[in-house]
Amino acid sequence: MLYELNDVTVSLSGREILTHTGMFIKGNEKIALVGKNGAGKTTLLNLIKGKLSPDRDDKRSTEAVKMARSLKIEMLDQIPFKGMDITFYEALKEELPETEEGSREYFDREYEIDRMLCGLGLDKEDKYKNISCFSGGEITRLGIICLLLKQPDILLLDEPTNHLDLAGIEWLEEYLKSFKGAVIMISHDRFFLDSVADVTIELEDGKLTRYAGGYTEYKKEKELRLAALQKAYDRYIAEKSRLEELDKRFKSRPNKAAFARAKRSQLERLEEVKPPKADGRIDLKSLEQPAHPGPKWVFEAEHLKIGYEKPLYETSLRIKRGEKIGVIGENGSGKSTLIKTVAGILPAISGKHTLGNNVKIGYFDQMSSRIYSEKNLLEHFGEKFPSLNEGEIRKKLSMWRFFGADVYKKVDSLSGGEKAKLVMAELLNERPNFLILDEPTNHMDIPAKEALEAVLKNYNAAMLIVSHDRYFISRLAGSLIITGGDDIYCYPFGYEHYLERKRNLSIPGRLPGELSSEDAALVSRLKAVPKKAPIQSRELPVHIQQFNWAMDQADKDLFAAQEAYENTMLASGDIKEWTRAEDRYTAACIKWYEELVNLLGHK
């Protein structure tokens, strides 16, 4: 056991943060620390680091804190370096043990420093710059590098993914998974926690509860535990009611007095079971669906050039009714430009694009949550929707975790995440059938993100969603648009499938199955074409038999081209050969589509 807390209480400013609770850390466990904002997660890290001490408790029978000898604990501080007028390299020399220049240890360390700098989006030469030259986010990255180089037994990380781009987060994930020591991390990035953590510890009401697995496993297990507690409470209430009823019925009857006393005695001995604490699950009963389902194709575009003065790329797109599409890509790759063009806010440079009949757009951008009002939530929402009474407004706001007295909060006093939820509540109450969302989870805590996921998952509209939140995208999007370079690419499956395929192939550039947006629009979502029913051919009309035979031949050609393409991608290291194979596969997809159109008699 590396570290152990036993029956610990910690108070700050007269408030108990931890209440007679405990936890342990062993081996090289990777622990996700979760809990509501203000629950005391950072306080717990400070306790483990030794910056705080437990409250005195004369009744405690064991040591409050037990730890292995010579235990080295390091924590990422908000100001990770003592001085700012020295170079990063000089700061490292002060923090790390000396190595003889020219030795194997020296060269290994130099290599590791350079590798970490590049992995976190910096340059190898940056180590010779003064720390004062770096931005706040870059200083945080340098602090992470310094901590990792120290190789502590326990590494404490509070929101380590802040200020990292996606490439930096993915690099840190892989590094921490192979880190030899134990790690305790606090993060709002649930995908990061799922990727790294093998244990989750929840801090709730001053108590620490341990769960096996990452964030998703923790949520599933917690739901099972809550369900079991609810069943136990229901049984307790039923038994208590039964005994009280028997006592009440028979206590006044002389010939049943002994029986009534026995039941009263059972009632007194009945061990009380407290009701499980509500988990804040939202009620979706008041969620209304789009006012109009909309046409089959919500949006169509051909050879659309997107950009400002100069085009960023040319694309063709088709968005189907009810389809939920995630838009991912590096910063500056044109994600917001794309959705602004689709929404009609930004004019296209050239090309054709049409919005389907009866399509009503609900648009949320990164500035939407900057709303100001002296009114409280009830007044603000009621002014927007005067036909709703107070009870209806409360129901709608409760879906966004505004419960009870929350509705009397002034709009101006809300946090950025709460304002975003309010705007989303207003947006969905308009009942659009095409939602275009640009970073809707910015500034939201985990419960707010989960509320948004639940609502959007149950709302039957087409959606185009830009988000850096990988967990959010993986839970909602059935397909992806990937921006970058001179074109955008469509991937017809979800984010986890995309990530797994990318990891397994380890091939730079596009993946097998990832089509240019124009080809994807032409093929019209091949995966949505229904399979032929298993009916004997003699039971079908002749023209249907001919159609099936022709399509069987086309299918064989397509599958052969796909197999050849994937084999080439796996076997060959020549980029030119990959490109040729990809071109052949794309041509086969287009030929399959043209054969289908021809057989159906379309021009």
Q: What is the DSSP letter of 165?
A: -
Comparing CA positions, the residue from 498, 568, 533, 419 lying closest to residue 191 is 498
The answer to whether 5 and 22 are in contact (CB under 8 A) is yes
Q: What is the pLDDT of residues 25-38, one digit of tens each?
A: 999 999 999 998 88
Task: Count other C-beta atoms under 10 Å from residue 69's C-beta.
Answer: 4
Q: What is the pLDDT of residues 44-92, one digit of tens each?
A: 999 999 999 998 876 677 788 999 888 999 998 767 787 788 899 988 8
DSSP states of 91-148 as a string? HHHHHS----TTSHHHHHHHHHHHHHHHHTT--GGGGGSBGGGS-HHHHHHHHHHHHH
The amino acid that residue 99 corresponds to is T
Buried b (16+ CB within 10 A) or exposed e, 163-197: bbeeebbbbbbebbeebebbbbbbbbbbbbbbbbb
pLDDT band at 517 (very low <50, low <70, confident <90, very high): low
Please tell me the predicted confidence (pLDDT) of residue 181: 93
The answer to whether 386 and 393 are in contact (CB under 8 A) is no
Task: Count other C-beta atoms under 10 Å from residue 565's C-beta.
Answer: 21
Report the alpha-carbon distance of residue 332 to residue 73 in Å, rounded: 38
Average pLDDT, the chain: 84
Please tell me the predicted confidence (pLDDT) of residue 371: 84
Report the alpha-carbon distance of residue 323 to residue 343 in Å, rounded: 16
How far separated are the first and last CA of the chain, in Å rounded?
73
Classified as helix, coil or strand, 291 is coil
Comparing CA positions, the residue from 320, 364, 316, 323 lying closest to residue 340 is 364
Q: What is the pLDDT of residues 521-564, one digit of tens each?
A: 544 444 344 443 333 333 444 455 556 666 666 777 777 777 77
Which fold is adopted by the domain 297-523? Rossmann fold (3.40.50)
The answer to whether 31 and 200 are in contact (CB under 8 A) is yes
Query: Please, what is the Cα angle at 395 between 394 and 399, to 5 degrees?
Result: 110
Share of the chain above pLDDT 90, in %: 38
Please tell me the predicted confidence (pLDDT) of residue 486: 66
Report the alpha-carbon distance of residue 33 to residue 388 in Å, rounded: 41
Which fold is adopted by the domain 3-219? Rossmann fold (3.40.50)
User: In Å, how far from its chain's centre is CA 235?
Assistant: 37
pLDDT band at 485 (very low <50, low <70, confident <90, very high): low
Task: Count other C-beta atoms under 10 Å from residue 75's C-beta.
Answer: 20
Please tell me the predicted confidence (pLDDT) of residue 575: 64
Which residue bears the tokens 């297990």?
A: 221
Contacts of 401 (CB under 8 A, 6+ apart): 280, 282, 421, 447, 448, 451
Which residue bears the tokens 């509540």?
A: 425
Q: Whole-prediction pTM value?
A: 0.76
User: In Å, how far from its chain's centre is CA 221?
Assistant: 18
